[in-house]
Amino acid sequence: MLKFSKLPKIELGGYWLAIFLATYITVFLNDQLWFSLLKTQTSFSASVRWQFIWVIGIALVAAQSIVFLFLLWSRILKPLSLLILLSAIGANYFANNYGVHFDSSMLRNIFATNFLEAKELITTSLIIEYLKHLPLILFITLFLNVLKKNLK
């Protein structure tokens, strides 16, 4: 049996984890946002479109990093990081496949959903979507050791 405590650990500060999560979510889990933003820039040259995308991407990473830094405290850092990541994967999947955009009313609907309704939404393609991001989930769970000194 594999002992997870003997696996090599990668040490990472909490600030870097927040920035990494924000970057990953911005780049890989916001497909509909990027497609919509590119559609708004059709009358501009390619270089102007890329500048626009870079500026929006940097602003999103900065905004998400600030929010994550307030949320990710030392004791709950890894579980909350996983919850944020799993939520973002699910939101991206439903946005891509069902054209759903998440806002406060959508979150209320999620919490009001009963088990039978939720069971219908769990499909093979949803499971495959989570499996695509499994390496990052395993990295955070098994190999990441968060430095506590910068998370007081």
3 pLDDT more than 70: no
CA distance 121 to 90: 11
Share of the chain above pLDDT 90, in %: 36
Q: Where are the domains of the chain?
A: 8-147
H/E/C letters for each residue in the chain? CCCHHHCCCEEEEHHHHHHHHHHHHHHHCCHHHHHHHHHHCCCCCHHHHHHHHHHHHHHHHHHHHHHHHHHCCCCCHHHHHHHHHHHHHHHHHHHHHHCCCCCHHHHHHHHHCCHHHHHHHCCHHHHHHHHHCHHHHHHHHHHEEEECCCCC
> 47 or 125, which is more confident?
125
Closest CA to 139 of 75, 71, 81: 81
CA distance 39 to 57: 16
Q: Give the pLDDT score at 1.
A: 47
pLDDT digit string, tens, across residues 46-78:
888 889 999 999 999 999 999 998 887 777 888
**80 contacts: CB under 8 Å, gap ≥ 6:** 71, 72
Q: What is the mean pLDDT of residues 118-142?
A: 90
CA distance 37 to 139: 31
pLDDT digit string, tens, across residues 8-36:
788 888 888 899 999 999 999 998 999 88
What are the two backbone dihedrals, phi and then psi, of residue 19, each rounded to the nearest 5 degrees?
-65, -40
Calculate the CA 149 to chain-centre distance: 25
Mean pLDDT of all residues belonging to the chain: 85
- Do 138 and 3 touch, CB atoms closer than 8 A? no
